[in-house]
Each structure stands twice: as C-alpha cells, then as structure tokens.
Amino acid sequence: MQETLCAFLLIAATTTLTQSSNPSNWVGVWQRELDGQPSIVLTLAQDNGSLGGTLVLNGINNDGGQPHIAVHEAHTLMHSHLSGNSLSFTVKSRRASSTTMVFDVQQTSNSEATLHCLNCGEDAPVVDITKLD
C-alpha cells in the first residue's frame, strides 16, 4: 500500500512539473488583492513565442476609510526564464534606474503560485497570487 501511494505521489508530482513547464500554462493574469484592491498584477503572454509580460505593483492606502490605490508601478518583464514549475524574471527598479529587481514565481497549481522578490531585502514577503479566469 505504501509503495503504491509513493508511486502515485511521484507520478502526480511529475505530471504537475511537466504541466507547469509548458509556457501556455502560465499565460494569463495572476493577481493578489489587498483590502479588495489589486496589489499585484502579473500578466503573462506568449505572443512572440517566448513568455513575457508585465508586473504591476500597487501600493494600497486606507486613509480616509476607503482602501484605494495610492502608488502604481508598471514594469515590463525582462530576461524571463521558465524551468519546471518556476518562472524567474527581472524588472527595472523605479527607485534606482540602474538596479533591477529579481523575481521568482513558483506555480503550486494551475491557478495558484507564489511570488518573491529575491533581492528586495531579507524581509521581502513571499506572496500568494491567483490566476484569474
């Protein structure tokens, strides 16, 4: 029984990794909301054969009682690379034009992933994002 369960888990993990490494499984809009407002929007497309897109980072403010987008930063993905269930890319930092932010996105299912800025400091959060239909 235990051998059967291990074999099933290995097949399921291999299938998930195979599906995730297909760029078309990544295509779409991935989002994270904060207080009902979109705080992160990752849009991925495969228009020119490779996976590319944009990352929008919104700062949400609750002053005045109603959550609203106070800061809006749109970035074009650069140097995107897909490996297994992981997508990595860089974007130019708005704070220092010569600096890039390095992101890693781990797809945990066909509609769920985590996003993490690898060089934004030790306290940079790992954020759950969801693929919109």
What are the tens digits of pLDDT across the range 23-81? 889 999 999 999 899 999 999 999 988 899 999 999 999 887 889 899 999 999 999 99
Can you tell me the distance from the alpha carbon of 115 to that of 119, in angstroms, rounded to the nearest whole number?
A: 13
String of DSSP letters for 64-97? TSS-EEEEEEEEE-EEEEEETTEEEEEEE-SS-T
How far CA 52 is from CA of 15, 30, 36, 76, 113, in Å, comes to 24, 13, 27, 8, 17
Encode pLDDT of 75-101 as tens digits. Answer: 999 999 999 999 999 999 877 667 899
Supply the pTM of this predicted model.
Answer: 0.80
CATH architecture of 2-131: Beta Barrel (2.40)
pLDDT of residue 96: 66
In one letter, which amino acid is 58? N
Domains of the chain, residue spans: 2-131
